[in-house]
Amino acid sequence: QKAEWKKLKDEPSVTANGKHYTIAANIGTPDDMKGVLENGAEAVGLYRTEFLYMDSSDFPSEEDQFEAYKKVIEGMNGKQVIIRTCDIGGDKHLDYWDLPEEMNPFLGVRAIRLSMQYKDIFRTQLRALLRASAYGSLGIMFPMIGTLDELREAKKILKEEKDKLVADGVKVGDNLQVGMMIEVPAAAVLADQFAKEVDFFSIGTNDLIQYTMAADRGNDNVSYLYQPYNPSVLRLIKHTIDGAHENGIWCGMCGEAAGDNIMFPILLSMGLDEYSMSATSILRIRSLMKQINTEDIKELANKACYVSETYEENEKLVEETMKKLG
């Protein structure tokens, strides 16, 4: 079967009835680009820039960051690259960044919250990103946004840095998109309002599930509560996608769930536009997409959100739906 998948490397990602949905790759460093190209990704849906900070003994300079971002953007040859601003905090720490200890790091000063407290570090990263945007098609994405205020502040700082660069005669891409992760339940609930202020969403299920179920994503003792197919999680995902589409923006997913065989048909039924996953999952999902006619799974999303009551029911629902498709 793997040999079958390999043939799909240069094929577009289409359903049995010819609808195209983007299958993208998640990366951690520019070195991951080899796998991205070998597996025929149509975009980079998430570049987790914190590894640039973690693999370094001090804050990476604007120049070092610019080089790394440029390499990935150029490597994709015009296809879109979504780069997420630094998501340090939670379980990710830096030896050279002496931050106060917190009782609940996942609920503490993490990601965009940290960027807002250390704006110089944030501005350096944004300048590197803006400069790199001249070399292809870039989307800048903010992690862990929970309120409109946070989003507006981040966008304001981005605009200030952009204006400064332009005033200095530095070239900035003219097709730059600005988006946000949907991984805090508050943002999912207000997706319709957020959608009016960004170009795209990317749903981060790894965190969205942990925060919705109040179950630490790394704690084995509560892993039974970490339920991707729980109807509550699915309703938030559907609400997010609907909020995006009703306001004319696209919605992707870069959490692990995007490359999951049970989750995929549900997401397709919801009309999710972009599926970003580890490069090694791309051809498996492209093959699965090819087998599904979206007309045959029209009811799946509503059933999974509003009829099923449990995680297990949804697992069975998808298995039975897929069996019927043959």
Interaction between residue 183 and Mg ion (CB under 5 A): yes
Cα–Cα distances (Å) from 315 to 20, 131, 230, 265, in that order, read: 25, 45, 10, 11
From 32-40, 181-189, 191-199, 227-235, span contacting Mg ion (CB under 5 A): 181-189
| Tokens 């250390």 -> residue | 118
Out of 32, 207, 273, 296, name the contact with ligand PEP by CB under 6 A: 207
Q: Which two structure tokens, joined as six digits, stand for 189?
A: 């609930």
- Between 185 and 255, whose beta carbon lies closer to ligand PEP? 255
Degrees to nearest 5, angle at CA 241 with 259 and 270: 60
Interaction between residue 50 and Mg ion (CB under 5 A): no
Name the 3-class secondary structure at 240. helix
Interaction between residue 273 and ligand PEP (CB under 6 A): no
Degrees to nearest 5, angle at CA 90 with 217 and 29: 90
Interaction between residue 256 and Mg ion (CB under 5 A): no
At residue 162, what are phi and psi to the nearest 5 degrees?
-65, -45
Is residue 251 annotated as part of the catalytic site, yes or no?
Answer: no
Out of 86, 234, 241, 254, name the contact with ligand PEP by CB under 6 A: 254
Out of 30, 204, 243, 265, name the contact with Mg ion by CB under 5 A: 204
Interaction between residue 179 and ligand PEP (CB under 6 A): no
Q: Are 126 and 161 in contact (CB under 8 A)?
A: yes
How many whole angstroms separate alpha carbon 39 and alpha carbon 28?
Answer: 16
Cross-strand partners of 139: 82, 177
Q: Are 209 and 201 in contact (CB under 8 A)?
A: no
Out of 29, 56, 206, 232, name the contact with ligand PEP by CB under 6 A: 206
Q: Which of 86, 251, 254, 305 is catalytic?
A: 254
Interaction between residue 32 and ligand PEP (CB under 6 A): no
Q: Which two structure tokens, joined as six digits, stand for 108?
A: 């503490």
Interaction between residue 183 and ligand PEP (CB under 6 A): yes
Out of 45, 60, 185, 204, name the contact with ligand PEP by CB under 6 A: 204
- Between 77 and 104, whose beta carbon lies closer to Mg ion? 104
**Active-site residues: which are they?**
254
Kindly list the residues in this chain that would bind ligand PEP in the complex (CB under 6 A). Answer: 46, 48, 87, 183, 204-207, 254-255
